[in-house]
Amino acid sequence: MHEKAAVEVAGLVKRYGGTTAVDGLDLTVEHGTVTAVLGPNGAGKTTTVEICEGYRKPDAGTVRVLGLDPVADGAALRPRIGVMLQSGGVYPGVRAGEMLRHMAALYAHPLDVDALVERLGLGSCGRTAYRRLSGGQQQRLALAMAVVGRPELVFLDEPTAGLDPQARRATWDLVRELRADGVGCVLTTHHMDEAEELADAVAIVDAGRVVAHGSPGELCRGGAENTLRFSGRPGLDLASLLRALPPRTGAEEVAPGAYRLHGTVDPQLIATVTSWCAQNGVLPDRIAVERRTLEDVFLELTGKELRS
């Protein structure tokens, strides 16, 4: 049906005065997938997303969203995308249902507003003005406003920032429903668990560039290796163990009786370790495989904490 990707960003550059917010960023988002743009504050996530939404013009590079130029073809693009800003966007004195009904009136085939209000647990907000809603309620209203027009693609800028765990899960459920119904989703986050949980593809952004791109699994597998830990009696002959293991596997006794192996941790490696233990009369205790998280990947790539 679609020949091109939902979002194609190539060589994007955006400067504000002397600072370069986005510095040669490339990003491709396939139709109907969830893509997480992951990075610390100031990485250029919001700038990139807002350029895709048509809010500002790039200084260099090309941006196509649903095959359209977000600025030049903005009038054609806007009815087809849903936008959740990082904050605000709602009249302080408006009621939640009233604002949502208003947004629905701007679209040709909107969702049923009452069902959506119910779905997002906003029914209790009643006649309360927006400025008196809780942070979570305000976030859910902004999310509802992004999806009410039945868009092909939604941009969610930190949709779960400041939410409690229950509200985060509710937001994740909605993103999964969107994906199941064929709606593409670009979300920014600095929660790696959110990216791991939701995303088909992750773009890790730092200092205005994509430093790694792939599925969460690919990112966690690639590059540096995983770790296997076990305990046994102190002073095992690690040279003998290493001879049994594949090349480029490392082993060390990090504390008396506590051993750490790093390398390609696969079922074969675990079998080799346990059989070596059996041959040497060692009862390995507390065997644990530690997979890399996106947080580890990020730290390795940038030397920074993700939530700095």
Q: Which residues contact 176 (CB under 8 A, 6 or more apart)?
A: 198
By CB neighbour count within 10 A (0-12 exposed, 13-18 middle, 19+ buried), where does 16 fall?
exposed
> Which two tokens mark 206?
């730092």
Would you mind telling me the total number of residues written for the chain in this entry?
308
CB of 203 to other proteins, least distance (A): 21
Determine, following the binding rule CB under 8 A, whether residue 83 of this chain makes contact with other proteins: yes
DSSP assignment letter at 90: S
The verdict on 105 binding other proteins (CB under 8 A) reads yes
CB 233, CB 257: distance < 8 Å: yes
- Per-residue contact track with other proteins, 221 to 260, x per CB under 8 A? ----------------------------------------
To other proteins, the closest distance from the beta carbon of 51 in angstroms equals 12
Exactly one of 1, 165, 181, 243 binds other proteins (CB under 8 A); which one? 181
Rank residues 140 and 292 by Cβ distance to other proteins and give the closer one: 140
Q: What letter represents residue 64's amino acid? A: R
For other proteins, the closer CB: 111 or 287: 111
Q: How many CB atoms lie within 10 A of CB 30?
A: 15
Question: C-alpha angle with apex 39: 33 to 40, nearest 5 degrees?
Answer: 150
- If the CB atoms of residues 98 and 253 are measured against other proteins, the closer one turns out to be 98
Stretch that binds other proteins, among 90-98, 208-216, 217-225, 274-282 (CB under 8 A): 90-98
**Identity (one letter) of the amino acid at 172?**
W
Measured between alpha carbons, how far is 97 from 173 in angstroms, rounded to an integer? 21
Tally of CA atoms within 13 A in the half-sphere of 75 that contains its CB: 0
Q: Which is nearer to other proteins, 23 or 98 (CB)?
A: 98
Which of 3, 17, 18, 109 is the binder for other proteins (CB under 8 A)? 109
User: Minimal distance in Å, beta carbon 157 to other proteins?
Assistant: 11
- Determine the 3-state secondary structure of 268 from DSSP: helix
Pattern of binders to other proteins over 133-172, x per CB under 8 A?
Answer: ------------x-x-xxxx-----------------x--
